[in-house]
Amino acid sequence: MGAGPALAKRLGYAHVGRPFRGASLSPWKWRKFGRAANHPPGPQFSTTGLGEPITFRMQLSTRVEEENDASRSMVDSLRTNDGVSCRICRGSHFTAVCPHRDNLGVINQTISLDPTQMEDVGKTPAGRYVPPIMRGRMGAGSNEPPAYTIRVSNLSEFMYEDALRTLFAKCGIITRIFLATDRPVDRQGNIIRNSREPPRCKGYAFVSYLNKADAERAIQEYNKYGLDNLIMEVDWARSKDE
């Protein structure tokens, strides 16, 4: 035959769907067999356990970005990302694995002498050593990632950090938790050293999230939430400047 168009006639459309799971077999209707023959339905503790939650980061390695983005200035690439921050290149990885450790370490030393940073140094009283942690804003160095912190108050005195973490981890990744506690005291008000009692909660705590959306969700979710016969209050934490 010649090279004419193929003969075809469109009769209609058929939607070929795909079942959600287990096209041919549904294991939920099976009888278990072999070693599991006597197991009741559902996972058994003897064979199935839940491991620790694992958090891993998916990102393009900095080497690729640098190769393909050579036009970006070196200083620009030193911006802090969220989460972990490298001391050398300010990338979002640990300093020990920094790909620029050998070549950028030297450059970084010169950058640290640039005038904007010199100003900060100048503010400190002359001739007195000020530890890095005390420079700039009290305690919080400017290198810290932006943490979205919420203040949780009206907690019961039996609150402990793990419980708080379990509760608030449902809303997102927590970078820091501070639970204000009192040391146990005797009747005269003296601190009991080596007490076997756990420290008592002062009634408030601060929870920092990695993402702002998570913190917002936590406020929505847990404000006026009942816990230990008390109604929890959750709101944005205010810094001392405000």
Partner 1 sequence: MSAKSVSSTIRPFQLRGHARPLTHVRFNNDGDLLMTTCKEGTSLLWSSYTGELLGSYEGHGGVVWSFDFTSDSRKIITASGDMTSRLWDTETGKELHMISAPSTVSDASFSVGNKMFFIVTVNNMNQHSSIVIYDATSFELINRIELPRDLRFTCALWADCNTRIIASLSDHTIVSYNVRTGETTGQATTAHKDTITDMQMSHDGTYFITSSRDMTAKIFDIHELSQIRVYTTDSPLNSASIDNIKGHIFLGGGQDASQVTTTHARSGKFETRIYHEALAEELGRVRGHFGPINTLHVSPQGTHFATGGEDGFVRLHEFDQNYHDFKIEFDENFEPSADVN
Site stretch for partner 1 (CB under 8 A), options 9-17, 36-44, 151-159, 160-168: 36-44
> With binding defined as CB under 8 A, does residue 76 bind partner 1?
no
Given 36, 75, 111, 185, the residue binding partner 1 (CB under 8 A): 36
> With binding defined as CB under 8 A, does residue 1 bind partner 1?
no
> With binding defined as CB under 8 A, does residue 173 bind partner 1?
yes
> With binding defined as CB under 8 A, does residue 162 bind partner 1?
no
- Judged by beta carbon, residue 46 or residue 194, the one nearer partner 1 is 46
Q: Contacts with partner 1 in 90-149 (CB under 8 A)? A: 92
> With binding defined as CB under 8 A, does residue 69 bind partner 1?
yes
Given 30, 70, 132, 166, the residue binding partner 1 (CB under 8 A): 30
> With binding defined as CB under 8 A, does residue 190 bind partner 1?
no
Given 9, 10, 15, 21, the residue binding partner 1 (CB under 8 A): 21
> With binding defined as CB under 8 A, does residue 63 bind partner 1?
yes
- Residue 81, class by beta-carbon neighbours within 10 Å (0-12 exposed, 13-18 middle, 19+ buried)? middle
Dihedral angle over CA of 98, 211, 161, 226, nearest 10? -170
Smallest distance from partner 1 to CB 58, Å: 4
> With binding defined as CB under 8 A, does residue 11 bind partner 1?
no
DSSP 179-212: EEEE--B-TTS-B-TT-SSPPEEEEEEEEEESSH
Contact 174, 168 (CB under 8 A): yes
Cα distances from 130 to residues 75, 88, 125, 138, in angstroms, run 26, 22, 8, 12
Three-state DSSP class for 131? Answer: coil
The label of the residue with tokens 């921050």 reads 85
Q: What is the chain's Cα-based Rg?
A: 29
> With binding defined as CB under 8 A, does residue 68 bind partner 1?
yes
> With binding defined as CB under 8 A, does residue 12 bind partner 1?
no
Given 15, 35, 123, 193, the residue binding partner 1 (CB under 8 A): 35
- Residue 141, class by beta-carbon neighbours within 10 Å (0-12 exposed, 13-18 middle, 19+ buried)? exposed
Rounded to an integer, what distance in angstroms lies between the CA atom of residue 142 and that of residue 120?
11
Q: What distance, in Å, lies between the first and last C-alpha atoms of the chain?
A: 86
Site stretch for partner 1 (CB under 8 A), options 26-34, 103-111, 149-157, 180-188: 26-34
The tokens for 228 are: 């230990």
In the complex, the residues that contact partner 1 under the rule CB under 8 A are 21-25, 27-28, 30, 32-37, 39, 41-44, 46-61, 63-65, 67-69, 81, 83, 92, 173, 210
